Structure 1
Amino acid sequence: MTGEQSKIDSGWVNVPHARIYWEATGEPAGIPVLYLHGGPGGSLGRGGYRKRHDHSRFRVVGLDQRGCGKSSPHVQDDIDHLSENTTQALIEDIETVREHLGIEKWIVTGVSWGSTLALAYALEHPNRVLGIALVAVTTSSRDEIQWITEDVGRIFPEAWSDFLEAAHAEPGERVVEAYARRLAGQDRDDARLAALSWDRWESTHVSLDPNWLPGPLFEDEQERMTFALLVTHYWSNDGFLVDGQEIITRIHELNGIPGHLIHGRRDISGPAVTAWQLHRRWDSSRLIIIEDEGHGGPGCMVALTQAVQEIAAMV
């Protein structure tokens, strides 16, 4: 890879009620590769995604999704427009970036929540997609959200009991709904406490990954609040996908588009069954299970690099 030596072009595009940060690295005339980060609310971070692809061959594009990272405003500073932060809005933001950069088609990649967004984008704009390569595959279905916020507590009962107690759920309210309500509420001190509890739980349920180091996900309070607020907003609304099953039931529409579904066998927070279900319904997909890894380990990322190369060879 030549990532460290390549110039990074960057900027913002204006969309309704927000400015979306983008960056592009590598050969301007190269095969475009889009990276969609996790979360929701995880941001591009330090840009490690840029190092995964050959910059003499690819143009690697990343963006900070609406409300997080270098995009503005941050979600906690714009609660009045929270209802407009949806998967459909993110898809429109991606299209705005694509048009701004003059890209006709690209290879779409994503990790964790980024895989949900990648699939939702591809289903909406299949004619803009050369191929899809995903790690830690999710669809943000109601079943997946139920598992990661409640059912996986059977494996971590001590931590989940604390997580449940700290939710302060009202009668009939799901745990994720309780956190979403408090994080978006007027009492910002209570929202900060909810963000801390959410961070502790997130740090717990991925801890069977052998590469995972225990501790808080976010030391920075603003990043912690951004992540918790956006994750609970999306998950309490089933990813803003119809009936919480939209991707699974429509995935056959991507037949003919090459897809690589890369997943760690030890991913306890997002079991491999989701990637397997997608693969069974998507004829032009490959299922790649990394036996000794959890949620997006180094072996998964090597497989992602290889998948992009294989898709590029077909272009």
Structure 2
Amino acid sequence: MDRLAGQIGGNPSQGKLHPMVEPFDQRQIDVGDGHILHVEQSGNPEGIPVIVLHGGPGGGCSPFMRRFFDPKYYRAVLFDQRGCGRSRPHAEVAANTTQHLIADIELIRRRLGLGRAILFGGSWGATLAVAYAEAHPEAVLALVLRGVFLGRRSELDWFYGGGVARFFPDRWAEFQRPIPVAERDDMIMAYHRRLFGGDRGQEIRYSLPWIMWENALAGLEISGSGHAPPDYARAFARLENHYFAHGCFLDEGQLLRDRHLIEHLPAFIVQGRYDMVCPPQTAWELAEGWEKAELRMVPASGHALSEPRIATELVRVMDGLRDAAQRGGRVA
């Protein structure tokens, strides 16, 4: 279980996504507080465990996420976090905090008998991976992170306080349009009042511009605002806004402050050079001074997991860990 590499040498993989596989196990796990989580496992039941942490909060998992892991070697565990995807109740924010999610990961790890696991997460999933690792470092083999977000006020101000709007004034105007001018000094709370007003129709109406603002900036090439199914948009917007309105339920700067708790673990950070949602500065700060962290800045790439260069680099990391372990390497 511990035979993985701290360093990846050469270029053992071409970074091609692995073939799609079906889960060998799907289940619903009652984690308490009225929440039931959808959990699936794919790949090798005896393989090195990888816990996949999706973004958002509220994004949910997709079958595409299974393709980053060699199914002959890895045991990939995907789950939909509280309130989203196939977990129930849908769009629920009660008993839904970072601390609840950390406890859920630990419950799933123990319930499935995973032992130490690799954490694989991007964006909010990277936040949650670092938070969980700092709470349970003994349960972690390594971290593989993408598009790093650490939940700080400065990062929220960049995206919702007008920072990135300097690059996308047209998209920012669309995001602001549903909100009265008098309330635009705090877009998170302005949307919060409407996403939690108790009128489902209104919540859906305001969910769509919320999610489209992020979707429009996720890829390097912007190609229209697109659409999202109303129920998905409502869950995503409510959960994301709930977390952001509460500072991600973290002390300001907590994850960097407590990084010393995980500096003995290897970390591989894949960051789009032109990520407008989670700018590279945050990934740089997380990696700087962390001897076992390797920051891979990906050229001509933005934020999305599906961007070709981002996906390629993540597969290279996972295949590299596999290959190094097979040569007899270790994580720590």
Superposition TM-score, scaled by structure 2 size: 0.86
Separation in structure 2 between the aligned mates of residue 173 and residue 2 of structure 1, nearest angstrom:
45
How far residue 98 of structure 1 moved from its aligned partner, in angstroms, is 0.8
How far residue 2 of structure 1 moved from its aligned partner, in angstroms, is 6.0
How far residue 130 of structure 1 moved from its aligned partner, in angstroms, is 0.2
Separation in structure 2 between the aligned mates of residue 100 and residue 38 of structure 1, nearest angstrom:
23
1:216 and 2:216 are equivalent in the alignment: no
Correspondence list, 1:1-315, <5 A: 3-5=19-21, 7-16=23-32, 17-45=34-62, 47-75=63-91, 78=92, 82-150=93-161, 151-168=163-180, 174-207=186-219, 209-210=220-221, 213-216=223-226, 218=228, 220-243=229-252, 245-296=253-304, 297-312=307-322, 313=325, 314-315=330-331
Distance 1:157 1:99, change over 3 A: same
Aligned to 2:275, the other structure's residue is in SS state: coil
Unaligned runs of 5+ in 1: none
Deviations, residues 183-207 of structure 1 (Å, cap 9, x unaligned): 1122323222211221231233335
Distance 1:159 1:2, change over 3 A: closer
Percent of aligned pairs sharing the same letter: 34
Distance 1:217 1:246, change over 3 A: farther
Distance 1:43 1:198, change over 3 A: same
Structure with larger RCO (C-alpha < 8 A, sep 6+): 2
Separation in structure 2 between the aligned mates of residue 22 and residue 231 of structure 1, nearest angstrom:
21
Separation in structure 1 between the aligned mates of residue 68 and residue 145 of structure 2, nearest angstrom:
13
* Structure ranking higher in helix proportion: 1
CA RMSD of aligned residues (A): 1.9
How far residue 53 of structure 1 moved from its aligned partner, in angstroms, is 1.2
Aligned to 1:73, the other structure's residue is in SS state: coil
Distance 1:6 1:67, change over 3 A: closer
Separation in structure 2 between the aligned mates of residue 90 and residue 281 of structure 1, nearest angstrom:
28
- Residue 147 of structure 1 aligns to which amino acid in structure 2? W
Separation in structure 2 between the aligned mates of residue 97 and residue 138 of structure 1, nearest angstrom:
23
Aligned to 1:96, the other structure's residue is in SS state: helix
Distance 1:3 1:182, change over 3 A: same
Deviations, residues 221-274 of structure 1 (Å, cap 9, x unaligned): 10010111111111111211112x111222232111000111011111211000
Aligned to 1:199, the other structure's residue is in SS state: helix
How far residue 3 of structure 1 moved from its aligned partner, in angstroms, is 4.5
Aligned to 2:58, the other structure's residue is in SS state: coil
- Residue 162 of structure 1 aligns to which amino acid in structure 2? E
Unaligned runs of 5+ in 2: 1-16
Would you say the 8 A contact 2:216–2:223 is kept in 1? no
Deviations, residues 3-50 of structure 1 (Å, cap 9, x unaligned): 4355531101111210011100111111001111111111112x1111
Would you say the 8 A contact 2:61–2:80 is kept in 1? yes
